[in-house]
Amino acid sequence: MKLVRYGEKGAEKPGLVDASGQLRDLSAHVKDLDGAAYAPESLKTLAALDPASLPAVSGKPRFGAPVTGISKFVAIGLNYSDHAKETGNPIPAEPIFFLKANTALCGPYDQVEKPRGSTKLDWEVEIAAIIGTRAKYVSEADALNHVAGYTICNDVSERNFQIERLGQWTKGKSHDTFGPVGPWLVTKDEIPDVQNLSMWLDVNGQRRQTGTTATMIFTMAKCISYVSQFMTLLPGDIVTTGTPPGVGMGMKPPTFLNVGDVVTLGIERLGEQRQEIIEA
């Protein structure tokens, strides 16, 4: 299934996109797409519905992030060897992770704000997992059993804030709109191999990133298992897993986003996003 939240910000409704691409409303069956909706029994119930029996949604409504009410937004850093190299960092011996503020979460086509004082606004196409069942001290072999499905995340980053302003990476990763997620959650039964998906990102129509999840240093399962050793992942939580090479800070010379720029990105089987940069 492709599960979505659609409508104006703060008033999104649950829905699904059927095999023909038609958006259909799920409001009669689930209140919203939160952690409870992504529990295994809830997903089983939704999967049993006949999409043709659900009300069709007309027009082209806004899509919000495909999950709400999250307890945490976890991000893995430097998880592709070429990305580590382009940023001048050694390949990590174990996963590096940090938290993005929950308030960074936004829809896949929403405008992205350039913060006040920003000089190095950057892009990162990433694959993210949305957790379906509580995960604490889970093994790598069992980790994907705790996943409801997968989606795209643009881990928008302000490198000056992140690197030069001291403190934790969170400072450069958490401005409002720095976490476009979506356009939908694709349930894991539709992704036969999460470690074999192509990914890309363009800025103003020019290709910047081309990669594949096959080149992750730490697999999706490893990332989820590792994080669960340090904090409990709850249903609805987002774990985004690093980006391939081609970020702005790795270009020669470094190149960053400005107001009016348009970023488009996508991952095989998971859809595409588009964001315009605006002033905060």
Identify which of 64, 271, 232 has the alpha carbon closest to the alpha carbon of residue 152.
Answer: 271
Q: State percent of the chain over pLDDT 70.
A: 100
pLDDT tens for each residue of 81-135: 878 888 888 889 999 999 999 999 999 999 999 999 999 999 999 999 999 999 9
What's residue 76's pLDDT? 97
Q: State percent of the chain over pLDDT 90.
A: 95
DSSP per residue over 104-168, as a string? GEE-TTSPEEE-TT-S-EE--EEEEEEE-S-BSS--TTTGGGGEEEEEEEE--EEHIIIIIS-S-
| Average pLDDT for 26-36 | 97
* CA distances (Å), origin 157, targets 95, 109, 238: 19, 17, 17
What's residue 265's pLDDT? 98
What's residue 229's pLDDT? 98
- Given CA atoms 126, 78, 195, 72 in this order, what sign does their dihedral have? negative
Identify which of 62, 43, 60 has the alpha carbon closest to the alpha carbon of residue 186.
Answer: 43
Q: Is the pLDDT of residue 23 over 90?
A: yes
Global pTM reads 0.96
- Strands 112-114 vs 271-279: parallel, antiparallel or unpaired: parallel
Q: Is 85 exposed, middle or buried, given 0-12, 13-18 or 19+ CB atoms closer than 10 A?
A: middle
Q: Contact at 8 Å (CB) between 173 and 162?
A: yes
Name which CATH class applies to 73-279.
Answer: alpha beta
Cα gap 277→120, rounded to integer Å: 13
What's residue 248's pLDDT? 96
* CA distances (Å), origin 119, targets 24, 143, 161, 246: 41, 38, 9, 18
Band of the pLDDT at 227, cuts 50, 70, 90? Answer: very high
For the chain, the average pLDDT equals 96
Band of the pLDDT at 15, cuts 50, 70, 90? Answer: very high
Name 196's Cβ contacts closer than 8 Å, sequence gap at least 6: 212, 213, 214
What's residue 81's pLDDT? 84
| Average pLDDT for 34-61 | 97
| Average pLDDT for 33-47 | 97
Name 20's Cβ contacts closer than 8 Å, sequence gap at least 6: none
| Average pLDDT for 35-58 | 97
Which region among 162-166, 201-205, 209-213, 257-261 has the lowest average model confidence (pLDDT)? 162-166
Q: Contact at 8 Å (CB) between 240 and 99?
A: no
Cα gap 128→136, rounded to integer Å: 18
pLDDT tens for each residue of 151-173: 999 999 999 999 999 888 999 99
What's residue 112's pLDDT? 98
DSSP per residue over 58-89, as a string? PS-PPEE-S--S-S-EEEEES-BHHHHHHTT-
Q: Per the structure block, which two tokens stand in for 105?
A: 């979460």
